[in-house]
Structure 1
Amino acid sequence: MTFILDPFSADFMLRALIGGVLVAMICAVVGAWVVIRGMAFLGEAMAHGMLPGVATATLLGLPPIVGATVSAAAMSFGVSLLARRGKLSHDTSIGLLFVGMLALGVIIVSHSRSFATDLTAILFGDILAISTDDIAVLGVALIVTVGIAVAFHRPFVALAFDGRVAATLRLKPRLAGVMLVALVTLAVVASYGAVGSLLVVGLLLAPAVAAGQWSRSIPGIMLLGGAFGSVSVVAGLLVSWHAATAAGASVAAAAIALAALSSCVRSVQKAISAH
């Protein structure tokens, strides 16, 4: 037990654990809808598209989360505008904005010779540097996420199956679509500080995919996803402590490994049941 408990006797590790679990819960709620609706590309684009805002905020001495929020909001607005008024498909609109925002971020970073350390934190996160203020922000983000998910559950379900049915039932599918994008944006912005913009998609997708092997109900996927995500946080932090690896990357890798393990175990169980 000392192998597990001793690392979390350090204050920074305990804060990392609490913050990481909050991130896992946020990503579990949003990740369920991301997997069901096939929005993985949007989540990845949001994560990468934050780079110019975060880079600009860092250079100006502002909190990075402010820049991340502005970039993510611009990305969301741009995707909606192009998809609604243009002749491009939704995926094409996301792809163009994603590449454009990423290129802009690299251009901004390239003008600062002292940006290497900050860029590493942006891309891969610094979960071990989570503060009590960060935990408070994540707590608020979790409450808002759950509130939106509960309030729009019926419209989200109807939209997932058929937007025309949602419109017939007067469930406002357009508003539901906007709120779903807002949820993805909130999860990415709130989580990137812990696991970085490149790795946040791992926690957004992997626990939900793992949970989907064992539950077909949306609340069940969210709850199981939260549990799988929390286990990934604990496992990743322990690996980071004992093997001296990057904490954020270790957490994301643990989440992917857990999803693969879950799939394998489920396949074996089905094979045994078939016989």
Structure 2
Amino acid sequence: MEWLTEPFEVGFVARALWGGLLVAVICALAGTWVVLRGMAFMSDAMAHGVLPGVAIASLFGGSLLLGAALSAVAMALGVTALSRSRRLSQDTGIGLLFVGMLAAGVIIVSHSQSFAVDLTGFLFGDVLAVRLGDLAVLAGALAVALLLTVACHRSFVALAFDRWKAATLGMRPVLAQGLMTALLTLAIVASFHVVGTLLVFGLLIAPPAAMALWADRIPAIMIGAALIGAAATAGGLLLSWHFGTAAGATIAAFAVACFFVSAAAAAVRDRFPFPATPVKGH
């Protein structure tokens, strides 16, 4: 038991745990829609797309969160604009912006005297450096994410499964798509300074994808994804403490490992289904 509890008795590890748990829930709420709508490539591009804004804010001593938010909004607007072209697919537009924003971010960071350190921090984060102020920001982001998720649930469900039917029912799919993108942006911006712009993608995709193999209802997928993300946070921090590995990367790797375990178990379930329990009296 001491092996399990010792790391979390240290102040900065305990704050990292709370920060990771908040990020896990935020990413579960947004990531469920990412998985159901097949927006994985877009979410990956947006996770990298915040890098220029963060780099500029860092160079000029501004707010990293504000820089990330402005960069993510620019990325989302760019994707929307390019997707309207009849000659370019949405994936092409996302790919172009993905490479362009990432390259711009690296170029901006290269002007820093501590180029390697800054770039590593932006991409991989520093979960062990979470402060009380960061926890307050994450708690506020979670409250907004919950509000969006509850208020827009019906519109998001209709958009996820039948965009045209959503339009005929007056669900305003364009507005719903914008709000869904806002939820994704919120999750990325709130989480990048904890697990980094590169590794936030793991928590957005892996836990919801792992749970989607076992649950049919969207609330169940969200709750299960939050629990898997929480387990990945605690397990990743524990392994990082005892084996001296990078904390953020270990958390993301743990989350991805959870998906593969879930996928393997689901494959066994589908290959060898349990016989139905006979109903008494028949």
TM-score by length of 2: 0.94
Q: Among the aligned pairs, what percent are the same residue?
A: 54
Find out whether 1:19 has 2:19 as its counterpart: yes
Quote how far apart the aligned CAs of 1:72 are: 0.4
What is the aligned partner in structure 1 of residue 253 from structure 2?
Answer: 253
Gaps of 5+ in 1: none
What is the aligned partner in structure 2 of residue 106 from structure 1?
Answer: 106
What is the aligned partner in structure 2 of residue 226 from structure 1?
Answer: 226
Q: Deviations over 1:121-179 (max 9, x none)?
A: 11111000001110011011111111111111111111112211111110110000111
Quote how far apart the aligned CAs of 1:92 are: 1.3
What is the aligned partner in structure 2 of residue 199 from structure 1?
Answer: 199
Q: Deviations over 1:39-91 (max 9, x none)?
A: 00111001111111111111111121121111101101111122235642211
The one-letter code matched in structure 2 to 1:237 is L
Quote how far apart the aligned CAs of 1:263 are: 1.2
What is the aligned partner in structure 2 of residue 50 from structure 1?
Answer: 50
Instruction: State how far apart, in whole Å, the 1-side matches of 2:172 and 2:196 are.
Output: 34
Instruction: State how far apart, in whole Å, the 2-side matches of 1:85 and 1:149 are.
Output: 30
**SS at the partner of 1:199?**
helix
Instruction: State how far apart, in whole Å, the 1-side matches of 2:44 and 2:270 are.
Output: 32
What is the aligned partner in structure 2 of residue 145 from structure 1?
Answer: 145
Native 8 Å contact 2:126 2:248 kept in 1: yes
RMSD, aligned α-carbons: 1.2
**SS at the partner of 2:6?**
helix
The one-letter code matched in structure 2 to 1:200 is V
Find out whether 1:5 has 2:5 as its counterpart: yes
Quote how far apart the aligned CAs of 1:271 are: 2.9
Quote how far apart the aligned CAs of 1:214 are: 1.3
TM-score by length of 1: 0.97
Between Structure 1 and Structure 2, how many residues are aligned?
A: 275
Native 8 Å contact 2:106 2:119 kept in 1: no
Instruction: State how far apart, in whole Å, the 2-side matches of 1:109 and 1:18 are.
Output: 29
Q: Deviations over 1:180-238 (max 9, x none)?
A: 11111111111111111111100000000111121011100000000000000001000
Question: Quick check: which has more Rg, 1 or 2?
Answer: 2
What is the aligned partner in structure 2 of residue 91 from structure 1?
Answer: 91
**SS at the partner of 2:216?**
coil
Quote how far apart the aligned CAs of 1:33 are: 0.4
Gaps of 5+ in 2: 276-282
**SS at the partner of 1:66?**
helix
What is the aligned partner in structure 2 of residue 187 from structure 1?
Answer: 187
